[in-house]
Amino acid sequence: AGNYAFQAQPMGFPGAPAVPPVQNQPIMQGGTIWMPIPPSFPNCPPGLEYLTQIDQILIHQQLELLEIVTGFETENKYELKNALGQRVYFAAEDTYFCTRNCCGPSRPFTIRIIDNLGREVITLQRPLRCSSCCCPCCLQEVEVQAPPGTTVGYVVQNWHACLPKFTIQDEKKMDILKIAGPCVVCSCCEDVNFEVKSVDETCTVGRISKQWTGFVKEAFTDADNFGITFPIDLDVKMKAVMIGACFLIVSLLFTNI
């Protein structure tokens, strides 16, 4: 299981075939620059080819005017960008009004992630579960599907008295990576980092960071910025599951209601 996350990709290993250069230019849609469409690769779920070429993703939650004015939680929308600022994916939450405003951070959700062709390439399913450290059973879980209907992995919350901890699993629920955050996730003027480690937690392989966005934005909105870093040769399915882990952390620990 420990080697699963680092199966050979089309890049990153000596002797592995090089990634063909992307010939087309970035796509402009409505003023947004999209990442060029990469070539397809064997055994890569459709739409995840983008992830073979990047080692970090920046996630920007869009500001919702109705939410700022009324205080009611609206369906969240996010831009997922590469290090050049090009949009890789767009993500949108699919939940009911009552669910969002009654269940708060523990609410179930479906998040649909689409590429620049308008295809839904990743689906995140989070059922309604407990989140209290006093209740070690039935903790939070997200199922990651890529493409929709095909499970590629899970993110499960681990019980701990004071630390936010999670496990990334493959489609057979075998442990692949661990995630550990700080005891206090509310921090002023600095980022909050969640370290992604090997199963035995001896090696750090990546990071999920909640980025400080300034006093005004932090105080009056929950429109946050997050960053995900991972090895460029990490299995593309596990990169998708790390995106799911970021969204679970966003909704569980950084939702205001």
Compute the mean pLDDT over every residue in the chain, rounded to the nearest whole number.
79
Segment 43-51 shows an average pLDDT of: 94
Q: Is residue 60 part of a domain?
A: yes
Give a yes or no: residue 89 inside a domain. yes
Q: pLDDT tens, 219-233?
A: 444 457 899 999 999
- Binned at pLDDT 50, 70 and 90, residue 206 comes out as very high
Note the pLDDT of residue 246.
95
Higher pLDDT, 75 or 5: 75
Whether residue 177 is predicted with pLDDT greater than 90 in this model: the reply is yes
- The string of DSSP codes covering 188-255 is SSS-EEEEEEETTSSSEEEEEEEEP--HHHHHH----EEEEE--TTS-HHHHHHHHHHHHHHHHHHS-
| CB-based contact 253:105 (threshold 8 Å) | yes
Name the domain count of the chain: 1
* Beta-bridge mates of residue 93: 111
- Contact assessment for residue 96 and residue 78, using Cβ atoms and an 8 Å cutoff: no
pLDDT of the residue at 224: 74
Question: What is the predicted pLDDT for the residue at 253?
Answer: 80
Q: Evaluate whether residue 197 is within a structural domain.
A: no
Domain span including residue 55 = 29-130+139-159+214-254
Q: Is residue 209 part of a domain?
A: no
Residue 190 domain-assigned? no
CB 136 within 8 A of CB 144: no
Per-residue pLDDT at 62: 78
pLDDT tens digit sequence for 93-113: 886 555 556 666 667 889 999
The predicted structure's pLDDT at residue 190: 79
The type of residue at 111 is I
Q: Which candidate, 67, 116, 104, 75, places its Cα nearest to that of 92?
A: 75
State the pLDDT at residue 70.
43
**Within a domain: 19:** no
The string of pLDDT tens digits covering residues 60-97 is: 987 654 444 444 456 689 999 999 999 999 999 886 55
Q: What is the CATH number of the domain that holds 245?
A: 2.40.160
Classify residue 105: in a domain, yes or no. Answer: yes
Cβ(243)–Cβ(122) below 8 Å:
yes
- Residue 114 belongs to some domain of the structure: yes
